[in-house]
């Protein structure tokens, strides 16, 4: 079955950087677009970024554009989120998620979710 | 920027039917927005219930259904059960690769 396992969450100082990873298994990773979604403590879900199945197309939310970058390594079945210039408001649980269908280029909805990884931005 | 609107809270009696909605601060929701619905209980990861407005995700009971009602997307739960007590989030596709979640509806079953 589909498994998505996030790692790399940590406590980081404001202005710092961090890279989240999401290890995928149970499906053909290279055939599916992937998303990152975050949730600040006690708040709702916020879409962060999406990447196409082959990594050629990427979109980011305005709130993270220019600071965060989504990427993937299909040879390692792994999704990444590179985060720079972190702010206190980036503190959240970060979920990776898989498209419902194959060959998505950013406009396929989410069908499966990981368990999340916590990023805390604090001095 | 367009805001996706949801009822902050709703309550339903066990066995009852409830319809949650997902709208836009400006304009109407159509099938072109690929509305999805996700259920989340506190401390847990979200779970996809409905995508592309009406398609039920694998393993989701058929008492969950999606539709367009008027100018909004809707999630209807028929025969509500105690373990349906959760937060429900809709998300809409805004074009150009951009997705926007609603603020979520906290559903109480009592």
Residues A2-28 have pLDDT tens digits of 999 999 999 999 999 999 999 999 999
Neighbours of A109 (CB within 10 A): 27
**Are B104 and A45 an interchain contact pair (Cβ–Cβ within 8 Å)?**
yes
* Among A45, A62, A109, beta carbon nearest to B46: A45
pLDDT for B1: 78
Say if residue A104's pLDDT is above 90: no
Say if residue A107's pLDDT is above 90: no
Cβ-Cβ contacts under 8 Å for B51 (sequence gap 6 or more): A100, A109, A110, A111, B34, B36, B37, B57
Say if residue B34's pLDDT is above 90: yes
**Are B99 and A35 an interchain contact pair (Cβ–Cβ within 8 Å)?**
yes
For A88-98, write each residue's pLDDT tens digit: 999 999 999 99
pLDDT for B13: 97
Contacts of A61 in chain B (CB under 8 A): 98
* Among B48, B55, B97, beta carbon nearest to A112: B48
Nearest-Cα residue of chain B relative to residue A44: B103
Say if residue B105's pLDDT is above 90: yes
Nearest-Cα residue of chain A relative to residue B58: A111
Residue range A99-107: average pLDDT? Answer: 89
Contacts of B39 in chain A (CB under 8 A): none
pLDDT-based confidence at B54, cuts 50/70/90? very high
- Comparing CA positions, the residue from B56, B4, B26 lying closest to residue A47 is B4
pLDDT for B66: 98
**Are B91 and A45 an interchain contact pair (Cβ–Cβ within 8 Å)?**
yes
pLDDT for A106: 85
Give me the total of CB pairs closer than 8 Å, taking one residue from chain A and one from chain B. Answer: 67
Residue range A71-87: average pLDDT? Answer: 98
Nearest-Cα residue of chain A relative to residue B106: A44
Residue range A102-116: average pLDDT? Answer: 92
**Are B97 and A50 an interchain contact pair (Cβ–Cβ within 8 Å)?**
yes
pLDDT for B50: 98
Nearest-Cα residue of chain A relative to residue B94: A107
Residue range B106-110: average pLDDT? Answer: 97
pLDDT for B2: 84
Q: Is there a contact between A114 and A4 (Cβ–Cβ < 8 Å)?
A: yes
């Amino acid at each position: 079955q589909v498994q998505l396992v996030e790692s790399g969450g940590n406590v980081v100082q404001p202005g710092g950087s961090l890279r989240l990873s999401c290890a995928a298994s149970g499906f053909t990773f290279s055939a599916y677009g992937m998303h990152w979604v975050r949730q600040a403590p006690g708040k709702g879900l916020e879409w962060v970024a999406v990447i196409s199945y082959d990594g050629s197309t990427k979109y980011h939310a305005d709130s993270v554009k220019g600071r965060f970058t989504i990427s993937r390594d299909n040879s390692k079945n792994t999704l990444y989120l590179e985060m720079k210039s972190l702010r206190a408001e980036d503190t959240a649980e970060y979920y990776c998620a898989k498209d419902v269908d194959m060959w998505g280029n950013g406009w396929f909805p989410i069908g499966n979710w990981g368990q999340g990884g916590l990023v805390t931005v604090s001095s | 920027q367009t805001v996706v609107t949801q009822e902050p809270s709703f309550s339903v009696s066990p066995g009852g039917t409830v319809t949650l909605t997902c709208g836009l601060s400006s304009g109407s929701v159509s099938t072109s927005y690929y509305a999805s619905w996700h259920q989340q209980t506190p401390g847990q990861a979200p779970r996809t219930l409905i995508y592309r407005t009406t398609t039920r995700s694998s393993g989701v009971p058929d008492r969950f259904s999606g539709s367009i009602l008027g100018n909004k997307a809707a999630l209807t739960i028929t025969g509500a059960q105690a373990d349906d007590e959760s937060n429900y989030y809709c998300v809409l596709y805004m074009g150009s690769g951009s997705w926007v979640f609603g603020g979520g509806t906290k559903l109480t079953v009592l």
